[in-house]
Amino acid sequence: MRVVRFHAPGDVRIEDAPEPSPGPGEVKIRVRACSTCGTDVKILRFGHHHIVPPRVMGHEIAGEVVESGADGWVPGDRVQVIAAIPCGTCAECRRGRMTVCPNQVSMGYHFDGGFAEHMIVPVNVLAVDGLNRIPDGLSYAEASVAEPLACVLNGQGLARVGDGDDVVVMGSGPIGCLHVRLARARGAGRVFLVDLNRERLDLAAALVGPDAAICGAETDVVDAVLKLTEGRGADVVITAAAAGAAQEQAVQMAARQGRISFFGGLPKDKPVIALDSNLVHYRELTIVGANGSSPAHNKEALRLIATGAVPVADLITHRLPLDRALDAFGIVARGEAIKVTVEP
Ligand SMILES: [Zn+2]
Ligand SMILES: [Zn+2]
């Protein structure tokens, strides 16, 4: 079968590999859609300390069961697979905090991922209820977007996005678009979208229709948000951009008792920002992080997509066959697309 395999930074090959067979307790799927994201581009360029090559990449996975060694799954079942796999037994997992499990392993990192014609769903995934049935009427491509939406759900839960909130989303990539849509579904008041790149901002704004689109290269973003919110600032600010400057601005534009989600991480060599601690103190701000998603978030994401609460079909702007996976990464790297899905 054909696979997209990471060998070393800058060396990702589309090549032949033997078709895997499932062991006891495992499920084999025919991958139908595996979406790409910025993480894939990062792995391609820099590798990852959890990846021992060669490793099949791809972590936003949907497919069809073709062989099953696990109870409850039969050929023909349409399934979505979690990406981040908690252990289910540690102190954090037992407290229900599966996104911060210190023993977490991941599809495409510790296990061969979804950029392949076939893939094994490991026992670890099934042990934490991480293989999900795709609701009827939902395409494989849409189901593959459940994983990033699950991460967005985790972030907005921690930042308590709710009724009437003015929400700023910084970064208009696929994650930013999902944040805009989910905030609306959670009853947010006004939602503002920010990006430095005017083209990408316009593309995203045309799809998700924020109440205002602010280009950081043309205007002072903090001023713009204060003007749009009658001087109050935003109840919630979400940074979906790997930029310390965005995180610093997020704190400055938050309303009293505002919540700030540092949703996107910063580059490893530049993780320190300047923070006006008195803003946090006097305005009673809450700053929260976000690290992936739990199996429950994935189930909820599938449900939200299926009910139409968070549509994703129109966010999939490019669909490419497996042999063009490297082109897909290029499109993502250049910011030309919202979501790029590979269909092996
Ligand atoms: Zn991803
Ligand atoms: Zn755990």
Tell how far the Cα of 24 is from the centroid of ligand 1, in angstroms: 28
Residue 18 CA to its chain's centroid (Å): 30
Rounded to whole angstroms, the Cα distance separating 221 from 8 reads 39
Q: Which ligand is nearest to the CA of 89?
A: 2
Which ligand is nearest to the Cα of residue 97, counting in written order? 2
Distance 126 CA to ligand 2 centre (A): 14
pLDDT at 268 over 90: no
Q: Are 237 and 253 in contact (CB under 8 A)?
A: yes
- Distance (angstroms) between ligand 2 centre and the Cα of 111 equals 17
Ligand 1 centroid – CA 58 distance (Å) = 8
User: 212-215: which pairs have CB atoms within 8 A and are 24 or more residues apart?
Assistant: 213/172
Are 258 and 285 in contact by the 8 Å Cβ rule? The answer is yes
Quote the ligand 1 centre to 38 CA distance (angstroms): 7
Ligand number, closest to the Cα atom of 103:
2
Cα 98 to ligand 2 centre (Å)? 6
Question: Residues 113-126: what's their mean pLDDT?
Answer: 98
Name the closest ligand to CA 294: 2
Position 297 scores a pLDDT of: 98
Taking the C-alpha atoms of residue 127 and residue 134, their distance in angstroms, rounded to an integer, is 18
Alpha helices in 69-165 (DSSP H): 91-94, 123-127, 140-144, 146-158
User: Distance, CA 151 to ligand 1 centroid (Å)?
Assistant: 9
Distance (Å, rounded) from C-alpha 55 to C-alpha 193? Answer: 36
- Measured from the Cβ of residue 184, the count of other Cβ atoms closer than 10 Å reads 19
Task: Determine the Cα–Cα distance for residues 43 and 10; give it in Å rounded to an integer.
Answer: 9
Residue 182 has pLDDT above 90, yes or no: yes
Are 38 and 243 within 8 A, CB to CB?
no
Residue 25 binned pLDDT confidence (cut-offs 50, 70, 90): very high
Over residues 195-202, mean pLDDT: 95
Ligand nearest to the CA of 264: 1
Mean pLDDT of the chain: 97
Q: What is the DSSP letter of 264?
A: S
Ligand 2 centroid to Cα of residue 95, in Å, is: 9
Q: Is 107 helix (H, G, I), strand (E, B) or coil?
A: strand
pLDDT for residue 342:
98
Cα(40) to centroid(ligand 1), Å: 7
Residue type, 87: C
Phi-psi region of 340 (alpha: psi -120 to 50; beta: other; left: phi over 0): beta
Q: Which ligand is nearest to the CA of 106?
A: 1
Cα–ligand 1 centroid distance for 97 (angstroms) = 20
3-state helix, strand, coil in the chain (%, to 5): 35, 25, 40
Instruction: Identify residues whose C-beta is under 5 A from ligand 1, the ion.
Output: 37, 39
Q: Which ligand is nearest to the CA of 100?
A: 2
CA–centroid distance, 89 to ligand 2, in Å, is 5
Residue-wise pLDDT for 291-313, tens only, equals 999 999 999 999 999 999 999 99
Q: How far apart are CA 258 and CA 234, in angstroms?
A: 7
Short-list 190, 189, 217, CA closest to 201: 217
Across the chain, the runs of DSSP E, i.e. the strands, are 2-8, 11-16, 27-35, 55-56, 60-68, 78-81, 84-85, 105-106, 118-121, 131-133, 167-170, 191-195, 212-215, 234-239, 254-261, 286-288, 316-321, 339-343
Q: Tokens standing for 1?
A: 């079968």
What are 185's strand-pairing partners?
A: none
In angstroms, rounded to a whole number, what is the distance separating the alpha carbons of residues 160 and 158?
5
Give the number of residues written for the chain. Answer: 344
Task: Please state, for a pLDDT cut of 70, what percent of the chain lies above it.
Answer: 100
User: What mean pLDDT comes out for the span 208-226?
Assistant: 98
Ligand nearest to the CA of 127: 2
- Ligand found nearest the CA of 93: 2
Q: State the average pLDDT over residues 47-59.
A: 96
Beta strand extents in 76-137 (DSSP E only): 78-81, 84-85, 105-106, 118-121, 131-133
Taking 90 as the threshold, does the pLDDT of residue 257 lie above it? yes
Beta bridge partners of 238: 169, 261
The residue ranking higher by pLDDT, 268 or 178, is 178
Note the ligand closest to the C-alpha atom of 90.
2
State pLDDT tens for residues 134-150: 999 999 999 999 999 99
Better pLDDT: 335 or 30: 30
AA letter at 126: L
